Structure 1
Amino acid sequence: MFSRSVLRSLTSDLRLSAPSISTISLPQRACLHQTASLRNAQQQSQTQSSSLNPETPLSATPRAQESIPETSIHNIIPQTRDDIPLAKQPVAPTFTSPLEVTKSLMAQLPHLVGQTPHYVTAEIHARPFLLTAGDHIRLPFLMPKVKTGDILRFNRASALGSRDFTLKGSPHIDERLFECRVRVIGVESEPLRIKEKTKRRQRHTKQARSKHRYTTMRVMDVRVKSPEELLKEGAVVIEDAADSPQIEARS
Structure 2
Amino acid sequence: MFSRSVFRSLAADLRLSAPSSISSAAPLRQRACLHQTALLRTQQQEIQPQSSSPNSESSLSATPRAQTSQPETKNAPKVPSYDPSSPSSIPQTRADVPIAKQPVAPAFDSPLEVTKSLMSRLPHLAGQSPHYIVAELHARPYLLTEGDHVRLPFLMPKVKSGDILRFNRATALGSRDFTMKGSPHLDERLFECRVRVTGVESEPMRIKEKTKRRQRHTKQARSKHRYTVMRVMEVRVKTPEELLEEGAVVIEDNEDTPKIEARS
| TM-score normalised per structure 1 | 0.69
Q: Which residue of structure 2 aligns with residue 67 of structure 1?
A: 76
> 2:151·2:230 contact (CA, 8 Å) conserved in 1?
yes
Q: What are the Cα deviations for residues 214-245 of structure 1, in whole angstroms up to 9, with x where unaligned?
A: 11111111110000111111111111112221
Q: Which residue of structure 2 aligns with residue 243 of structure 1?
A: 256
User: Which structure has the larger Rg?
Assistant: 1
Matched, 1:185 2:194: no
Deviation at residue 67 of structure 1 after TM alignment: 3.3
* Residue pairs, 1:78-227, within 5 angstroms: 81=95, 89-227=102-240
**Which amino acid in structure 1 is aligned with residue 76 of structure 2?**
S
User: 2 CA distance for matches of 1:69 and 1:185?
Assistant: 27
Change in 2 beyond 3 A, CA 1:245/1:83: closer
User: 2 CA distance for matches of 1:115 and 1:234?
Assistant: 24
User: 1 CA distance for matches of 2:162 and 2:101?
Assistant: 14
Deviation at residue 66 of structure 1 after TM alignment: 2.2
Deviation at residue 64 of structure 1 after TM alignment: 3.6
> 2:102·2:164 contact (CA, 8 Å) conserved in 1?
no
| TM-score normalised per structure 2 | 0.66
User: 1 CA distance for matches of 2:159 and 2:182?
Assistant: 29
**Which amino acid in structure 2 is aligned with residue 119 of structure 1?**
Y
Deviation at residue 91 of structure 1 after TM alignment: 2.4
* Residue pairs, 1:38-53, within 5 angstroms: none
The sequence identity of aligned pairs, in percent, is: 75
Q: What are the Cα deviations for residues 163-213 of structure 1, in whole angstroms up to 9, with x where unaligned?
A: 111000111000111111111111111111111111112111111100111
> Alignment length, in residue pairs?
191
Extract unaligned runs of 5+ from structure 2. Answer: 1-51, 59-70, 80-88
Deviation >3 Å, runs of 4+: 33-36, 62-65, 77-85, 87-90
Change in 2 beyond 3 A, CA 1:137/1:227: same
Change in 2 beyond 3 A, CA 1:66/1:217: same
Q: What are the Cα deviations for residues 7-59 of structure 1, in whole angstroms up to 9, with x where unaligned?
A: xxxxxxxxxxxxxxxxxxxxxx644x5457xxxxxxxxxxxxxxxxxxxxxxx
User: 1 CA distance for matches of 2:101 and 2:129?
Assistant: 33
